[in-house]
Amino acid sequence: MRRAVKKAKVWGVGDKSNVKVKNATRIEVDGIKFRSKLEHKAYVRLKEEGFNFEYEPESYEIIERFEWNGEKVRPITIKPDFVDYNLKIIMEIKGFANDSWPLRLKLFKRHLYLTKSKFSIYIVKNLKELELFILELKKLKNEK
């Protein structure tokens, strides 16, 4: 009689906890290719309210590339979704974040701290939070 052998679970094999979200619908408007519907809606709302946010203007290298035991290790970068250089605000759209997002956000905050950047980071997860963010922006704009 055969015994059933239980396979050992190997980390990273068959584990789908840290895969990119596949259900985001890409949209192209005004020649800009948005990665999700929420990013598109954020762009439209910010434009309607007259804010000068740029979509994915630049990438930040939060850990530089290096070589370890002859192996070339790629840098860790982050590209914020929306940046307003006048108000010093970075807005990141995160509908469904993967497992690496909290660490990347922490490293990005550290990078901004070490470079003595005056930027604030806002995370928007849904339409309700987007509207609350726009209300906050209006208050900030009136203060300046």
What's the pLDDT score for residue 66?
95
Q: Domain of 83?
A: 27-143
> pLDDT, tens digit, for every residue of 10-43?
444 455 555 555 667 888 888 888 888 999 999 9
What's the pLDDT score for residue 126?
92
Determine the average pLDDT of the residues in 108-127. 92
In a domain, 15, yes or no: no
In a domain, 31, yes or no: yes
In a domain, 12, yes or no: no
Per residue, what are the HEC states of the chain? CCCCCCCCCCCCCCCCCCCCCCCCCCEEECCEEECCHHHHHHHHHHHHCCCCCEECCCCEEEECCEEECCEEECCEEECCCEEECCCCEEEEECCCCCCCHHHHHHHHHHHHHHCCCCCEEEEECCHHHHHHHHHHHHHHHHHC
Closest by alpha carbon to 22, among 95, 73, 91? Answer: 95
> pLDDT, tens digit, for every residue of 51-100?
989 999 989 999 999 999 999 999 999 999 999 998 899 999 987 888 88
Contacts of 15 (CB under 8 A, 6+ apart): 9
What's the pLDDT score for residue 59?
92
pTM: 0.75
What domain count does the chain have? Answer: 1
In a domain, 104, yes or no: yes
In a domain, 19, yes or no: no
What's the pLDDT score for residue 16?
52
In a domain, 1, yes or no: no
Angle of helix 37-48 relative to helix 127-143, nearest 10 degrees, comes to 30
Mean pLDDT over each residue of the chain, to the nearest integer: 84
Closest by alpha carbon to 53, among 129, 139, 137, 112? Answer: 137
In a domain, 8, yes or no: no
CA distances from 78 to 65, 105, 113 (A): 14, 9, 15
What's the rounded Cα separation, in Å, for the pair 36 and 116?
A: 31
In a domain, 83, yes or no: yes
CA angle 102/22/110 to nearest 5° reads 20
pLDDT for 4 beyond 70: no
